[in-house]
């Protein structure tokens, strides 16, 4: 049997116990989550030992069930695989080269010589870390240069950088909104938005994926019950590969006196002829959206996140958002790398055009082969839905043996019936690599 790459393999007895316990719980609950009993007061002597052990934590035990099943079937663990170099359209794992569809390096700028040089020059000038919060210890010019470049990108007043994309959404939503407010989001929104709403304590509602008519109806019914209302969508949905109707969203948020936030983590560098994102794709001004959020780890070859918008929004966050005030400033080499990547994106629009061509080719061939690509519109992200987590893991293993690396997305990241392999296409992929991947996928299904 193949051992998990993240730890020692489980013993046969332990595996069977975990699986049986899990199946017993599902049988008694009908497969549905059941309400947890209220906390009860217990004496110190009667506290169960399980409450003092992380290996008996319910979340851990639940997580170990699919791992135990995969071990029993001899399947390779698809997670935390070590790559030996830059992960682009190809990557090297344990000395073998793989066609790689598990990287957000959409425009091939991670590892680009100019990007690397910008990062190295920043190290020579500033070192590897900002070492403290920008508010209390000052900042580095390259941090502001990147913020100004991103503000200009969206034609808005200003921008603020955060050291984590996930934390950008959590701290921005968590700080700006409160219990008297409503945050309403697409049903397939990223986890970081959900966590931000929890932190804010706001009322949370979702609307069916990309159903702007449902959003309009919900706001028409309940808008008057709240002070501020925030509508949150993604520019390109990272699990499904489709985009929202931005002009309709702008109309809806204007009529209902709401605020609109667009998460451009995967759409910057992908949408529009120049890769400028959702606003270029639809030809709307950047100022039509109240909060632009994005990450630096995909197209822009760095790490971290940003918020761009009007000056009052950005200044408020800079002086008060916990995720900025109480966090170290962005490492100068990362800021320099993303700034140079942005410049290359502008100077070489052919990268964006080639990405569109390759992604469109993949989607067309996959559909011709009868592969379920869900909602994907062929913008860099193309899921292939297989219907259950075990099948997704098996197909991953088959493709991996054939020199293709693509990550399975399984429950609980998606519903069990929506388990999939998620292909990220790069402008560096060749036509032959696309054909080979789709052909191998068709044979594995």
Question: Using CA of residue 280, residue 298, residue 160, residue 257, what is the dihedral sign?
Answer: positive
Count of CB atoms situated within 10 Å of the CB of 169: 30
**Which of 282, 293, 237, 238 is closest to 260 using CA atoms?**
293
Instruction: Decide if 253 is catalytic.
Output: no
Q: What is the 8-class DSSP label of residue 101?
A: -
Which DSSP category does 177 fall into?
-
Whether 83 is catalytic: no
Please confirm, yes or no, whether 298 is among the known catalytic residues.
Answer: yes
Q: Which of 282, 256, 17 is nearest to 264 (CA)?
A: 282
Pairing mode, if any, of strands 158-162 and 90-93? unpaired
CB 145 within 8 A of CB 239: no
Q: Are 438 and 370 in contact (CB under 8 A)?
A: no
d(CA 343, CA 18): 52
3-state secondary structure of 424: strand
Dihedral angle sign, alpha carbons of residues 122, 125, 127, 130: negative
Burial 134-166 (b: 16+ CB within 10 A, else e): beeeebbebbeebbeebbebbebebbbbbbbbb
205, β-bridge pairs: 184
Find, among 418, 298, 437, the residue nearest to 362 by Cα.
Answer: 437
Q: What is the DSSP letter of 153?
A: H
Q: Is the peptide bond before 223 cis (omega within 30 degrees of 0)?
A: no
CA distances for 63 relative to 120, 188, 223, 247, angstroms: 40, 22, 39, 41
Rounded to the nearest 10 degrees, the angle between the axes of helix 350-368 and helix 332-347 is: 80
Nearest to 89 by CA among 386, 401, 380, 294: 380
Contact of 289 with 153, CB cutoff 8 Å: no
Of the residues 4, 103, 238, 276, only one is catalytic, namely 238
Beta partners for 183? Answer: 204, 230
In the set 67, 266, 279, 356, the catalytic residue is 266
Of the candidates 185, 298, 356, 429, the residue annotated as catalytic is 298
List active site positions.
238, 266, 298
């Amino acid at each position: 049997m193949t051992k998990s790459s993240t730890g020692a393999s489980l013993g046969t007895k332990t595996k069977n116990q975990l699986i049986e316990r899990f199946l017993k719980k599902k049988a008694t609950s009908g497969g549905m989550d059941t309400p947890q009993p209220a906390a009860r007061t217990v004496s110190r002597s009667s506290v169960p030992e399980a409450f003092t052990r992380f290996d008996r934590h319910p979340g851990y035990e639940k997580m170990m069930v699919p791992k135990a099943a995969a071990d029993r079937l001899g399947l390779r663990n698809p997670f935390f695989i070590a790559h030996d170099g830059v992960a682009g359209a190809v990557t090297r794992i344990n000395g073998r080269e793989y066609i790689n569809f598990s990287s957000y390096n959409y425009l091939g700028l991670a590892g680009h010589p100019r990007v690397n040089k910008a990062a190295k020059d920043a190290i020579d000038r500033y070192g590897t870390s900002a070492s403290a919060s920008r508010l209390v210890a000052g900042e580095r010019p390259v941090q502001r240069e990147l913020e100004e470049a991103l503000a200009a990108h969206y034609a808005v007043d200003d921008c603020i950088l955060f050291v984590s994309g996930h934390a950008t959404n959590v701290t921005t939503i968590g700080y700006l909104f409160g219990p008297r407010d409503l945050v309403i989001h697409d049903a397939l929104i990223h986890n970081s938005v959900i966590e931000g709403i929890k932190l804010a304590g706001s009322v949370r509602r979702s609307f069916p994926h990309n159903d702007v008519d449902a959003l309009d109806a919900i706001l028409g019914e309940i808008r008057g019950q709240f002070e501020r209302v925030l509508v949150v969508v993604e520019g390109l949905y990272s699990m499904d590969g489709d985009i929202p109707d931005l002009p309709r969203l702008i109309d809806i948020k204007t009529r209902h006196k709401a605020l609109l936030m667009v998460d451009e983590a995967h759409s910057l560098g992908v949408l529009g002829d120049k890769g400028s994102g959702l606003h270029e794709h639809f030809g709307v001004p950047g100022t039509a959206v109240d909060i632009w959020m994005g990450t630096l780890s995909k197209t822009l070859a760095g790490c971290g996140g940003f918020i761009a918008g009007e000056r009052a929004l950005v200044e408020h966050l800079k002086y008060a958002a916990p995720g900025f005030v109480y966090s170290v400033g962005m490492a100068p080499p990362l800021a320099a790398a993303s700034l140079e990547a942005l410049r290359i994106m502008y100077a070489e629009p052919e990268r964006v055009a080639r990405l569109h061509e390759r992604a469109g080719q993949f989607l067309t061939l996959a559909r011709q082969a009868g592969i379920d690509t869900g909602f994907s519109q062929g913008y860099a992200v193309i899921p292939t839905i297989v219907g259950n987590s075990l099948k997704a893991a098996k197909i991953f293993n088959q493709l991996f043996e054939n020199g293709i690396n693509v990550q399975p997305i399984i429950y609980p990241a998606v519903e069990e019936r929506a388990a999939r392999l998620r292909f990220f296409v790069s402008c560096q992929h060749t036509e032959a690599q696309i054909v080979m991947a789709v052909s191998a996928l068709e044979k594995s299904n």
